[in-house]
Amino acid sequence: MSKALSAPAASLAPIPVRDILPWLVFGGLFCLLAIYFVGAEQGATALLPGHFMHELVHDGRHLLAFPCH
């Protein structure tokens, strides 16, 4: 009484590049913004006043070897 059950093969439809492109652009811009805040958000290039953003990403800055102080 051993019948092998075979599930029907799932057919995966390819995702068109046109559908992925906006998400790729969004992800790329988000990554660039994250790199900016970690690597350059201080001093003369700071967009936000104060030291909040610098202190928030300070450990990440040292972890990624960005010059800090």
69 binding Zn ion? (CB under 5 A) = yes
Give the dihedral of Cα atoms 36, 40, 41, 46; nearest 10 deg.
-110
State how far the Cα of 30 lies from the Cα of 36, in Å rounded to an integer.
10
Min dist. Cβ of residue 35 to Zn ion (A): 17
Closer residue to Zn ion, CB minimum distance, 18 or 69: 69
68 binding Zn ion? (CB under 5 A) = yes
Min dist. Cβ of residue 22 to Zn ion (A): 36
Q: Which residues bind Zn ion (CB under 5 A)?
A: 68-69
